[in-house]
Copies of this chain bind each other. A is one copy, B any other.
Amino acid sequence: MTDSLLDVVCVGNAIVDVLVQTEDAVIAEHGMVKGTMALIDAEQAEALYAAMPQGIETSGGSAGNTAAGLASLGARCAFIGKVRDDQLGNVFAQDIRAVGAEFTTPAATDGPPTARCLILITPDAERTMNTFLGASVNLGPEDIDEELIARAQVTYLEGYLWDREAAKAAFHRAAGFAHAHDRMVSLSLSDPFCVDRHRESFRELVRDHVDILFANEDEITSLYEVDDFDAAVQHVRLDCRVTALTRSEKGAVVVSGDEVHIVDAAPFSAIVDTTGAGDQFAAGFLRGFTLGDDLAACPRIGAITAAEVIDHVGPRPQVNLAELVAARLAD
């Protein structure tokens, strides 16, 4: 089993989310920037948790969510990320294995506890994230298993890894192994502030090392420091082999050299919580891509899986995505 082929191996921060529904005033009061992710330290985390009502705990992390989506779509996938041997770490490991993703990264036996992200969901369904990276930042190059990377068609990396040196080294090692084995490297830009923190190295990555790039409108315009989406499209199509750009209710755009596809958002019943929408779009897209679907079809699957996740609280699918996609595509 362990030496069989994989579709995607996802590498990212192993995080347990704590979801709290709240008001805009609370966001402002704590000096947060709505719709973005801020990194907080252990002390800030403690103070913030104390100030909030009881939330819902659920496994998260951008690449972890994508792995869960891929597994629900029937893809063979694995996750690489670091938890601590504590209660939240066990929750994370159980959850990701329960959906069918391989997860063999050893848990840390000392150091900070498992990472957690306090996600404040405002009435407009936007999410504002405060992440205490905890054990996840101790993901290091030694956790990247060459054999695992070599087995997967695509190694998918979240941009958030770039925030810490050890994880960045792990990122480089994973990308290096993938290309050494003629596999593809995919990157999600994760967050406009994350792009802002690492613009130059992200540009270099996109130009020289990434085969499939995922970004939303804010992230791609930040990457190229341009005012509008179209200008960013013109840049990225010269830089990257395949780019999938998400635009919320405006749908998605896929560019690959001279090929461009413009795809509508899928219908949904309500926008309850946009957490994980980008992660699940990536899952749907990569499912199609690794099955050999053409570039017009991949974002349609991504649109369906993204629409499922915004319909409920929580960043991972609540239905069998393979069945959902089959039904929607048959409509």
Contact = CB atoms under 8 A, between A and B. Distances in A.
A43 interface: no
Interface in A204-249: 228-231, 233-234
Contact of A262 (B262, B264, B296): B262
A260 interface: yes
A244 to B, nearest CB: 13
Nearest to A299: B230
Task: For chain A, give the interface size range.
Answer: 10 to 19
Number of copies: 2
Given A250-B250, A296-B230, A258 B258 contact: yes
A328 interface: no
Given A250-B250, A258-B258, A264 B234 contact: no
A324 interface: no
A40 interface: no
Contacts of A231: 296
Nearest to A258: B258
A231 B264 CA distance: 12
**Which residue, A255, A260, A263, has most C-beta atoms of chain B within 10 A?**
A260
Contacts of A230: 261-263, 296
A166 interface: no
Contacts of A296: 230-231, 234
A228 B265 CA distance: 12
A253 interface: yes
A307 to B, nearest CB: 16
Contacts of A264: 228-229, 250
A258 B238 CA distance: 12
A85 B255 CA distance: 54
Interface in A259-307: 260-264, 296
Contacts of A251: 250
Interface in A294-326: 296
Given A230-B296, A296-B230, A296-B234, A262 B253 contact: yes
7 contacts: A228-B263, A230-B262, A234-B261, A234-B296, A250-B251, A250-B264, A260-B260
Given A228-B263, A262-B262, 20 more contacts: A228-B264, A229-B262, A229-B264, A230-B261, A230-B262, A230-B263, A230-B296, A231-B296, A233-B260, A233-B261, A233-B262, A234-B261, A234-B296, A250-B250, A250-B251, A250-B264, A253-B262, A255-B260, A258-B258, A260-B260
